[in-house]
Structure 1
Amino acid sequence: MPVIRVLPPELINQIAAGEVIERPSSVVKELVENSLDAGATRVEVDIEQGGARLIRVRDDGGGIAPDELPLAVASHATSKIGSFDDLEHVASMGFRGEALASVSSVARFALTSRARGAEAAFRIEVDGGKLQAARPAQHPPGTSVEVRDLFYNVPARRKFMRAERTEFAHIDDLLKSLALARSGVEFRLSHNGKPVRVWKAARDEQAALARVADVLGEEFPERSLRIDHAAAGLRLSGWVGLPTASRGQPDSQFFYVNGRLVRDRVVAHAVRQAYADVLFHGRHPAFVLYLELDPVGVDVNVHPAKHEVRFREQRLVHDFLFRSLHEALAQTRAGQAMQPAAVADTASTGAIAASSSSYGGGWSSGPAMQNRLSLGVREQPLGDYAALLGASPPRVDSSDWAAPSMAPDSPDQAPPLGFAIAQLKSIYVLAENEHGLVLVDMHAAHERITYEKLKAARAANHLRSQVLLVPLSLAVSAKEAAAAEEHAEALAAWGLELSRGGPSAVVVRRIPALLEGADVSQLTRDVLAELAQHGSSRRLQELENELLSTMACHGSVRAGRRLSLPEMNALLREMEATERSAQCNHGRPTWTQLSLAELDRLFLRGR
């Protein structure tokens, strides 16, 4: 066996660089984060040849004292932590003290800095791991770092670099994410001497939203909800895209934990569940969200590049994110996009529903309004879902649809979706509001209304469970068996009764009556897998929602049925009062608006 020996510092730094420095954008990330930690209000990034030839980052931060410059490029030397207690309260972007040492070991490196209040700046250079003595230089207060010929002494790493355009695209994407993290900092990016990006410092929320629009697209602000909610020591703020702003790829998702962009499975799972009822299959939501919590509650020291974090109260964070987003999205109703945007605070659930019925004197908001579009479902015993599933689709009875009063004379009293004027091909309802023309897919809209009514009925009635004739014994992992024992009470509340049958086994004794005929084995395994990984599971509720969605689809008014004007108006009023009514159960839009300006452009009016 070879003898054990201590590795030379240059090799140690190159090994560390292999973990931290993947490509030029990794260098930019480390340098810009250092600038932000130094309190910079302006950061300039200059790139040449996609970062292969030059990466220069300038800032106006606090600077570095001359006698500390050699320490700045030493391994594991930092001003950000000094004890284990500091490591548990990390609030800075970086803290390991290995970035500059790693970068300088695989490139020609120069650092020029002038501390605030100092009379002069000083410069040090590192070439091939050899540090030269500091010498005076000209530089305003702040720091400049130059990285030339990246990986020049590591040919194996250099050959894995991609084309110039590709590498610069990664740098551009990185700067976008950092610009969203620190809206109060000015960022400038240039490539081969040409300015590419300029983000001025945002001084208010409107300016911050303008920066979000520059990154996610000009239409995002109009197709998003502002959210700001705090509970249990956690605060979630930012913007969540409406389902209509979804994308084919998850490339417009920015989630920050205490200002740090992260990719976390707990977060991804909570967001996916929050959008489950409104997002079309295969689509991904767009969002910019900021989670703030005590640094003690999150461990950022789990990944060399700090892309991942670990929450100490994982279940608490998951449930907080899900409920905040789920309730904010639930407040979206058809016609809401035409109203002034407001902060979506989950503490004010129901405010939008109240506003949709507050128009003066235009129509009834009494018991008749509450019973519209019930489609005979109320005649069924709402607790008896098995009977409801076995029954034929409810018959549409137009006598249930109370006719509203005549439209008010004042346009200020007009509802968001206006008043019906016609039906097109027995499929679409056409309505006129103060903005122009509203088109509604009547089946999709009524499907959502019926679905929400069924969910509310299920919530109002205790779930029934059915005893298995022969208890089912399942072999599971020890972690999943422990999760079944720990969450037995919560599972029983959903009608699933499990008991531990051994170190790696569970016994299923009851299942929800609504899921009679389901694959009990697969259902139990799915639930336990989520419980073991995330500390919570919504699999039972999701399966029940799928059945309720199917029932709602069959029980809703079908395309091809002629509706009277009172029936169409009743449908519009129900849409305005129903949660998530802008999308059907499958995530498709239920309505769209054509403004007068858009109609004028179609017919070239005014030209």
Structure 2
Amino acid sequence: METLPNDKRFLGVIRTLSDRVANQIAAGEVVERPASVIKELVENSLDAGCGSVTVSFRNGGKSLIEIVDDGDGMSRHDALLAFDRHATSKIESVDDLKSVSTLGFRGEALPSIASVSRFRLTTCKPGSSTGVEVVMEGGKLKEAKDAPPIHGTCATVRDLFFNTPARRKFLRSESVESAHAQEAVTRQALSRPDVAFKLIKDGKTLIDAPSGAGDDAFKNRVSALFGRGSIDELAKIEHKSAGMLVDGFISRPGVNRASREAQYVFINGRFVRDRIIYSAILDGYRSLMPKGRHPLVFLRLTIPPERVDVNVSPTKTEVRFVDGRSVRSLVSGGIFRALNMVEGGGDSNNSFAQADVPLKADTWEKPVTQTLSRSFAEPLASYAEPAAIEQTPLGKGEPTDNADAPQQTLSHFDSAISGNFMPVGQVFKSFLVLEDGDRMLILDQHTAHERVLYERFTLKYREGNADAQELLFPVEIELSGRDAGFLKKSLNDFKKLGFYLEEFGSDTFILRAVPLLLGEGDHKSVILDILDGVARLEGGFSFDVIAENAINIMACRGAVKAGDVLNKEEIESLVVQLKKCALPYTCPHGRPVTLTIDKDDLLKGFLRK
């Protein structure tokens, strides 16, 4: 074997990193934020066979995280060895990676967390009279000593990222990190309804979910985490195919959200995010789900471990399937069958399949004048001039960036439409045709009315005097702890939008009034969609950011839909109001409002010129 020379002139630049440096590099992948620490440590507790786990944290998890479980503890030898990189009790050989059945298996979590925190581990092997306490600081062993015996393990993490200030600097606000921490525990609690979970934030209990058994255990866990009323919006799913099983709950037709925040998918007890499954979910709903909307799902997939690879990323939330097509068929087929068993589901001709926004079947055929009487058929005297909207940070329309969209002439209506425009009629119950001099205009009635309502809502919000109508029957809304906490602090801000809510218990609210321009519809889902948008925000933000999203939602819900029949007077009223808009080119989402066709183009098309 060739020996390397000692002369420095011949020394290379490649060197082996120390364990401490390697652990901090691994921590960059495994430990993204306090919620990542909670996830990894709770997974260890579940793999240890615990029957209950308590998670406590302070200051969003930045200063303290503590996980206490009653699972099988460790001996002194194992407790020390657990802080070595790639030391694990879960696997032994390469073959074991082909059929991983535990949540953890990489042996990276403990050393990675310990390398960027002050870590204390107290544990005791079952039947032992003496426990052990191991103290690590920045990846270095500070102390290992005997401790009183306990039943299980207690892991305490303090001062996360204390030795990596750049990482600590990029943590979000306490409220944002707390929300992520709560979400991490929610996912784990959903995955194991047979285990009792408790979450304590700054001394206050946010989650207290007892363990359950039997067929109703998962149902009861969903109810405990999301409120008893959530079950009423869900349908049971259970379907077997190709040696696999999918079961759980999915939202009934007409119940949906603006994002995937309420989609929880587990494979063999592991929370995952997978494009194949997300696509299969939408495919299962087919025409029952409006474009841009997402159903609520709580799905558990049981797949033979050898048919799914979980060793894809350090966070272990990504997976690869041996046969992705069969998994897609399992999920989409199961959802489609479950919906067909729900009253009103599976009918491609029902109102949910045809409407842009779901409506109750008993309101679908109501005359359009009843729906519009308070929105675009109201007097114009109180409507703002364009300048009043242009000066606000809300209401900035942007053109669509769809490169495949047909080329269109977008006209500003102050100059494009004269005072002598003539409504020709309505086509496909969706588009309005106008004749104006030597041109023909085709308006999308939904996007046009959406723009009108958007600017009206914006002005009302800025003036702080949104008109509201009291509900004849107040609506009860039960929320998660995270959403309830935010809403309690924002009741006055919601009043500026026209929503009058009051507390009705710890996580329950009563909706007594809604914006006048919003009209009829599912007002509860509007509130839920607004709160979904809040959950996706990162860092500090003003309520104006939330208000803009809320106004988008309200304008879309309150506008006339494709399929609504408009008479001549309503068409004229809508066009006149659109002319008064500051930005009438597009709807708030960027879709064009109008197409313009010149008379000369028509003549050329018919070879008359």
Gaps of 5+ in 1: 337-348, 351-372, 374-427, 430-437, 445-521, 523-549, 554-585, 589-607
1:99 counterpart letter in structure 2? A
**Quick one: percent identity of the two aligned structures?**
40
Distance in 2 separating the partners of 1:30 and 1:197: 19
Contact 1:216 1:252 in 2 (8 A): no
1:29 counterpart letter in structure 2? K
Gaps of 5+ in 2: 1-10, 350-358, 368-403, 405-426, 431-560, 564-609
Q: Is 1:441 aligned to residue 369 of structure 2?
A: no
Q: CA deviation at 1:239?
A: 0.3
Distance in 1 separating the partners of 2:152 and 2:50: 8
Q: How does 1:117-132 map to 2 (within 5 A)?
A: 117-132=127-142
Q: How does 1:76-91 map to 2 (within 5 A)?
A: 76-91=86-101
- 1:308 maps to 318
Q: Is 1:114 aligned to residue 144 of structure 2?
A: no
2:302 to 272, 292, 303: 292
What TM-score, normalized to structure 1? 0.56
Which aligned segments of 4 or more residues in structure 1 are displaced greater than 6 angstroms? 550-553
- 2:272 maps to 262
Q: CA deviation at 1:22?
A: 0.3
Contact 1:151 1:158 in 2 (8 A): yes
Contact 2:246 2:302 in 1 (8 A): yes
Distance in 1 separating the partners of 2:217 and 2:309: 32
Q: Is 1:168 aligned to residue 178 of structure 2?
A: yes
3-state SS of paired residue (2:335) = helix
- 2:33 maps to 23
Cα offsets for 1:214-235 (capped at 9, x unmatched): 3334332112111111121110
Q: CA deviation at 1:72?
A: 0.8
Distance in 2 separating the partners of 1:156 and 1:74: 25
Contact 2:128 2:149 in 1 (8 A): no
Cα offsets for 1:145-177 (capped at 9, x unmatched): 111100001111010011111111100011111
Q: How does 1:374-413 map to 2 (within 5 A)?
A: none
2:276 counterpart letter in structure 1? V
Cα offsets for 1:548-602 (capped at 9, x unmatched): xx9999xxxxxxxxxxxxxxxxxxxxxxxxxxxxxxxx999xxxxxxxxxxxxxx
2:237 to 227, 249, 254: 227
Contact 1:302 1:310 in 2 (8 A): yes
Q: How does 1:417-428 map to 2 (within 5 A)?
A: none
Cα offsets for 1:460-509 (capped at 9, x unmatched): xxxxxxxxxxxxxxxxxxxxxxxxxxxxxxxxxxxxxxxxxxxxxxxxxx
- 1:153 maps to 163
Q: Indicate how the Cα distance of structure 1 residues 291 and 587 shifts in structure 2: closer, same or farther if over 3 A, else same.
A: farther
Cα offsets for 1:96-124 (capped at 9, x unmatched): 00100000000011111011111121111
Contact 2:29 2:315 in 1 (8 A): yes
Q: CA deviation at 1:82?
A: 0.1
Q: CA deviation at 1:282?
A: 2.2
Q: Indicate how the Cα distance of structure 1 residues 68 and 276 shifts in structure 2: closer, same or farther if over 3 A, else same.
A: same
Contact 1:113 1:121 in 2 (8 A): yes
Distance in 2 separating the partners of 1:80 and 1:247: 38
2:78 to 31, 48, 68: 68
Contact 2:199 2:206 in 1 (8 A): yes
Contact 1:220 1:241 in 2 (8 A): no
Distance in 1 separating the partners of 2:228 and 2:327: 31
Contact 1:243 1:587 in 2 (8 A): no
Q: CA deviation at 1:279?
A: 1.2
Contact 1:279 1:587 in 2 (8 A): no
Contact 2:123 2:152 in 1 (8 A): yes
- Would you say how many aligned residue pairs link Structure 1 and Structure 2? 357
3-state SS of paired residue (2:290) = coil
Q: Is 1:187 aligned to residue 197 of structure 2?
A: yes
Contact 1:24 1:171 in 2 (8 A): yes
Q: Is 1:245 aligned to residue 252 of structure 2?
A: no
2:343 to 317, 326, 333: 333
Q: Indicate how the Cα distance of structure 1 residues 54 and 243 shifts in structure 2: closer, same or farther if over 3 A, else same.
A: same
Q: CA deviation at 1:440?
A: 5.9
Distance in 1 separating the partners of 2:325 and 2:178: 38
- 1:363 maps to none
Q: Indicate how the Cα distance of structure 1 residues 587 and 323 shifts in structure 2: closer, same or farther if over 3 A, else same.
A: farther
- 1:4 maps to 14
2:59 to 37, 49, 71: 49
3-state SS of paired residue (2:266) = strand
Q: CA deviation at 1:75?
A: 0.4
Distance in 2 separating the partners of 1:238 and 1:291: 9
Q: Is 1:144 aligned to residue 154 of structure 2?
A: yes
Q: CA deviation at 1:327?
A: 2.1
Distance in 1 separating the partners of 2:52 and 2:309: 29
3-state SS of paired residue (1:134) = strand
Distance in 2 separating the partners of 1:224 and 1:191: 29
Contact 2:60 2:177 in 1 (8 A): yes
Contact 1:220 1:245 in 2 (8 A): no
Contact 1:44 1:57 in 2 (8 A): yes
3-state SS of paired residue (1:198) = strand
Distance in 2 separating the partners of 1:270 and 1:141: 43
Contact 1:223 1:244 in 2 (8 A): no
3-state SS of paired residue (1:96) = coil
More moved, 159-168 vs 204-213: 204-213
Contact 1:108 1:127 in 2 (8 A): yes
Q: Is 1:273 aligned to residue 283 of structure 2?
A: yes
More moved, 204-213 vs 115-124: 204-213
Q: Indicate how the Cα distance of structure 1 residues 242 and 261 shifts in structure 2: closer, same or farther if over 3 A, else same.
A: same
Distance in 2 separating the partners of 1:196 and 1:282: 31
1:158 counterpart letter in structure 2? R
2:364 counterpart letter in structure 1? D
What TM-score, normalized to structure 2? 0.55
3-state SS of paired residue (1:190) = strand
Q: Indicate how the Cα distance of structure 1 residues 332 and 587 shifts in structure 2: closer, same or farther if over 3 A, else same.
A: farther
Q: CA deviation at 1:442?
A: 4.9
- 2:102 maps to 92
More moved, 322-331 vs 202-211: 202-211
Distance in 2 separating the partners of 1:110 and 1:14: 18
Q: CA deviation at 1:139?
A: 4.1
Cα offsets for 1:407-460 (capped at 9, x unmatched): xxxxxxxxxxxxxxxxxxxxx99xxxxxxxx9363599xxxxxxxxxxxxxxxx
3-state SS of paired residue (2:87) = coil
Q: Indicate how the Cα distance of structure 1 residues 4 and 191 shifts in structure 2: closer, same or farther if over 3 A, else same.
A: same
- 1:477 maps to none
Distance in 2 separating the partners of 1:439 and 1:98: 57
